[in-house]
Amino acid sequence: MTANAHLEQPARAAPGTPRNGSPQQFGRQAVTAVPMLWLLVFFALPFVFVMKISLAEADIAVPPYTALLTWVDNKILSIHIDLSKYLFLFEDSLYLAAYLGSLKIAAVSTIFCLFIAFPIALFIARQKPETRIFWLALVMLPFWTSMLLRVYAWIGILQSNGIINSVLLELGLIHEPLALLQTDFAVYLGIIYSYLPFMVLPLYATLEKLDETLIEASADLGARPTTSFLTVTLPLALPGVVAGCVMVFVPAVGEFVIPALMGGPDTLMIGRVLWDEFFSNRDWPMASAVAIVMLIVLVVPVMLLRSRGRHSLGHG
């Protein structure tokens, strides 16, 4: 009844009355206005600022870049757009290497996360509802401590006089400490460890909804457990796989803390390049250009993934 009334309301409005003048319309707009405003203030505006800075030239001033718009003789508005930073991104192979390095580390970490998280999520989803909460709590518990602290804890474990090396030395398995920290290995370990819950949770959410009788039906029709997994469980968990991969891949590309603290001097990731441009070189326009390109590099594959995810969802 209420749904009907809701639908008929705009149709019944007298001709000439603006349709969005009705109280329902206003209410709907007011509700969507909050997230819209949020996006505007915290995403669109900063994006415009960064965009603007990336098109300026570096300057020894406060702020350290030239203005885009200046009044000449208070009459003519002149616009200075400098695309040299973007061109420089392609000239200096460092940037390309950093982008590719970030994408590689993020992609490999995402795949590892997927392979580690899937059995965990499946295990939790197959528990009794009462015990699921316990296992989920274990997955989420690390969030209760600061990420920085957890990274420092890993440093404590991996460093040359850390737990692993001490134990191995004590046992006589090695004679000098292994170089675990400041390697790509440490970066992978740190990223996989930190982002694993972001993969487990969306996977769990789809697997938990999976009807157990579908698995029984496939077994009944002659599918061995592996076949059953590949033909039923995995295709039906695909939305969760896509969501989890996006949630791990995107932040991993821009990750700064983990490569900075755990990576070696040759671990090239875009987050560190960005930091160096801002704080070491004080070249804000260059740093902004790096950030804008990174955003484009991320948005395009994510949109592709999302559209594919929606495609597979829409057709079951």
* Tokens coding 186: 């440490």
Residue-wise burial string across 108-132, b where 16 or more C-beta atoms lie within 10 A, e elsewhere? ebbebbbeebbebbbebbeeeeeeb
What's at 149, amino acid-wise? L
Residue 194, φ and ψ in degrees, nearest 5: -70, -35
208 vs 276 by CB, closer to another protein? 208
| Under 8 Å between Cβ of 266 and 214 | no
Question: Shortest Cβ distance from residue 132 to another protein (Å)?
Answer: 20
As a whole number of angstroms, the distance between CA 82 and CA 53 comes to 10
The alpha carbon dihedral of 248, 251, 254, 258 has a sign of: negative
Question: Shortest Cβ distance from residue 200 to another protein (Å)?
Answer: 23
231: enclosing H helix or E strand: none
Q: Is 253 exposed, middle or buried (0-12, 13-18, 19+ CB in 10 A)?
A: buried
175 vs 224 by CB, closer to another protein? 224
8 vs 211 by CB, closer to another protein? 211
168 vs 236 by CB, closer to another protein? 236
Question: Shortest Cβ distance from residue 96 to another protein (Å)?
Answer: 40
What's at 269, amino acid-wise? M
Q: Which residues bind another protein (CB under 8 A)?
A: 211, 213-214, 216-224, 227, 231-232, 235-236, 315-316
178 vs 223 by CB, closer to another protein? 223
* Tokens coding 119: 């059995």
46 vs 235 by CB, closer to another protein? 235
Question: Shortest Cβ distance from residue 211 to another protein (Å)?
Answer: 7
Cis, bond preceding 63 (omega within 30 deg of 0): yes
Question: Shortest Cβ distance from residue 168 to another protein (Å)?
Answer: 44
73 vs 130 by CB, closer to another protein? 130
Question: Shortest Cβ distance from residue 129 to another protein (Å)?
Answer: 17
Q: 276 to each of 141, 210, 272, 298, how far by Cα in Å?
A: 33, 47, 6, 21
Question: Shortest Cβ distance from residue 246 to another protein (Å)?
Answer: 21
